[in-house]
């Protein structure tokens, strides 16, 4: 991921649940308790970049400052839904950068199953996206976006990476159509 990549930055800004293992003085504002000590054992949602730094840093040699948990968007419930039917899950409602978050979490946790489910889901949904992207816009003259009503629901649930896929596929198939139309006109 590039330093200047806005998607990478936004991915890192997504929140993950953390549990503080130590008392931290005057950090209470994180827990709506300004000016007070943040007690150990408090659960706070922190951005991924901060949570990662805190989790790997070890102020006292025995334990780290916070422990990370798997975010709710990658919870077993979601994984089961993805396993059952990848196309029916609204990933955007779970996380804007769902796959980016997934990849970052997989760097921190060794979760073979999540990795399998995410890869399979990405592949299945990509095929579906490709179908929608090549056909979108063809029926524009008849009004509407050219996407069937069942497709709208699916396309609304795409995460940012999938939207990028949709865009490139739509652009390239449109470019071909434009070129073929131009040769017809002469």
Cβ proximity to another protein: between 81 and 106 the closer is 106
The least distance separating another protein from the CB of residue 124, rounded to whole angstroms, comes to 8
Tokens of 60: 């006292």
Residue 124: CB atoms within 10 A of its CB come to: 14
Closest CA to 17 of 56, 67, 63: 67
The least distance separating another protein from the CB of residue 114, rounded to whole angstroms, comes to 9
Cβ proximity to another protein: between 28 and 148 the closer is 148
Report the interface residues with another protein, using CB under 8 A: 2, 4, 99-100, 102-103, 106-107, 110, 112, 115, 118-119, 122-124, 126-127, 130-131, 133-134, 161, 164-165, 168-169, 171-173, 175-176, 178-180, 183-184, 186
8 Å CB contact between 135 and 172: no
Distance CA 46, CA 15 (A): 5
The least distance separating another protein from the CB of residue 143, rounded to whole angstroms, comes to 26
**Consecutive H or E run containing 43:** strand 43-47
The least distance separating another protein from the CB of residue 6, rounded to whole angstroms, comes to 12
Q: Which residue has the tokens 């919870």?
A: 75
């Amino acid at each position: 991921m590039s330093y200047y990549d806005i998607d990478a930055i936004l991915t890192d800004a997504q929140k993950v649940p953390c549990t503080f293992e130590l008392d931290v003085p005057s950090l209470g504002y994180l827990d709506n308790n300004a000016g007070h000590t943040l007690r150990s054992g408090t659960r706070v949602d922190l951005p991924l970049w901060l949570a990662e730094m805190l989790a790997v840093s070890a102020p006292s040699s025995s334990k780290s400052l916070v422990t990370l948990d798997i975010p709710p968007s990658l919870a077993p419930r979601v994984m089961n839904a993805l396993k059952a039917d990848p196309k029916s899950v609204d990933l955007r409602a779970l996380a804007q950068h769902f796959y980016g978050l997934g990849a970052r979490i997989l760097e921190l946790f060794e979760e073979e199953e999540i990795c399998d489910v995410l890869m399979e889901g990405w592949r299945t949904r990509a095929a579906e996206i490709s179908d929608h992207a090549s056909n979108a816009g063809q029926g524009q003259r008849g009004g509407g976006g050219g996407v069937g009503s069942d497709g709208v629901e699916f396309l609304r649930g795409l995460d940012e990476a999938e939207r990028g896929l949709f865009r490139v596929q739509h652009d390239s198939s449109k470019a071909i159509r434009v070129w073929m139309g131009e040769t017809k006109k002469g």
